[in-house]
């Protein structure tokens, strides 16, 4: 069993059409988009933050932004999924900016409540170690790593985070190395 759920492959133009229909007043179209992307978006946000409770709030903020900006989405400049995750990444960055002057909270150990209960005890221990290792990464590396685990390509991660492909590759290389080092220390 994989430690991360990978996003389903969807027709990007169908998402854009649904968003356009919603912008024209079709509430059912939004419900379809929400159902299609809510789990993947939440997984991305919860893995980008050390506090799952904050992830719920930020995920709601992302969907509110989608509602507010539905008419501003331009098909062809990005897929809906890339646009959605960029909003999510920006909301996560805003969260960290707000927290910069506050004391760092300890890693919230309730992360396991968001994990499938079918994991073996050994897999659960490994997952908890991985989540702790991810929480220790710099934000840019953690976001790139989690986006890759959600199935985004280097170019899509670059578009979401607003950096070049080589920067994405570098962040992923450092994230994998640091995560592996931290995981080995726990063995």
Does the residue 7 lie in any domain?
A: no
Lowest mean pLDDT among 38-52, 112-126, 171-185: 112-126
Q: Let me know if residue 2 belongs to a domain.
A: no
Decide if 6 is inside a domain.
Answer: no
Domain membership of residue 43 (yes or no) is yes
Asked if pLDDT for residue 3 goes beyond 80, the answer is no
Least confident of 3-7, 49-53, 55-59, 87-91: 3-7
CATH for 72: 1.10.1740.10
Q: In whole angstroms, what is the distance from residue 147 CA to residue 158 CA? A: 10
Q: Is residue 5 part of a domain?
A: no
Is there a domain that residue 92 lies in? yes
Query: What pLDDT score was predicted for residue 99?
Result: 63
Q: Quick check: 172 pLDDT over 80?
A: yes
Model confidence at 10: pLDDT above 50: no
Lowest mean pLDDT among 9-13, 89-93, 128-132: 9-13
Count of structural domains within the chain: 1
- Residue-level pLDDT at 122: 74
CA atoms within 13 A on the CB side of 56: 6
Confidence (pTM): 0.64
Contact between 108 and 52 under an 8 Å Cβ cutoff? The reply is: yes
Let me know: does 144 contact 157? Beta carbons within 8 Å. Answer: yes
Mean pLDDT of the chain: 79
Full domain range(s) for residue 144? 12-185
**Confidence tier at 83 by pLDDT (50, 70, 90):** very high
- What confidence tens digit (pLDDT) does each residue in 96-134 have? 777 653 433 434 444 444 444 556 777 777 777 777 888
Distances (CA, A) of 163 to 89, 93, 148, 158, 169: 13, 14, 15, 5, 10
């Amino acid at each position: 069993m994989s430690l991360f759920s990978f996003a389903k492959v969807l027709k990007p133009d169908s998402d854009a059409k649904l968003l356009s229909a919603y912008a024209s007043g079709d509430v059912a179209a939004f419900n379809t988009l929400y159902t299609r992307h809510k789990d993947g978006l939440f997984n991305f946000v919860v893995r980008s933050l050390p506090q799952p409770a904050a992830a719920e709030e930020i995920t709601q903020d992302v969907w509110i932004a989608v509602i507010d900006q539905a008419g501003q989405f331009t098909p062809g400049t990005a897929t809906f999924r890339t646009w959605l995750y960029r909003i999510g990444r920006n909301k996560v960055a805003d969260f960290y900016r707000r927290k910069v002057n506050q004391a760092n909270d300890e890693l919230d150990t309730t992360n396991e409540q968001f994990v499938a209960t079918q994991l073996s005890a050994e897999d659960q221990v490994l997952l908890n170690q991985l989540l702790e290792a991810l929480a220790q990464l710099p934000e840019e590396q953690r976001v790139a790593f989690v986006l890759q685990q959600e199935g985004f390509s280097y170019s899509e991660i670059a578009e979401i985070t607003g950096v070049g492909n080589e920067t994405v590759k570098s962040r992923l290389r450092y994230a994998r190395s640091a995560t592996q080092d931290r995981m080995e220390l726990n063995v």
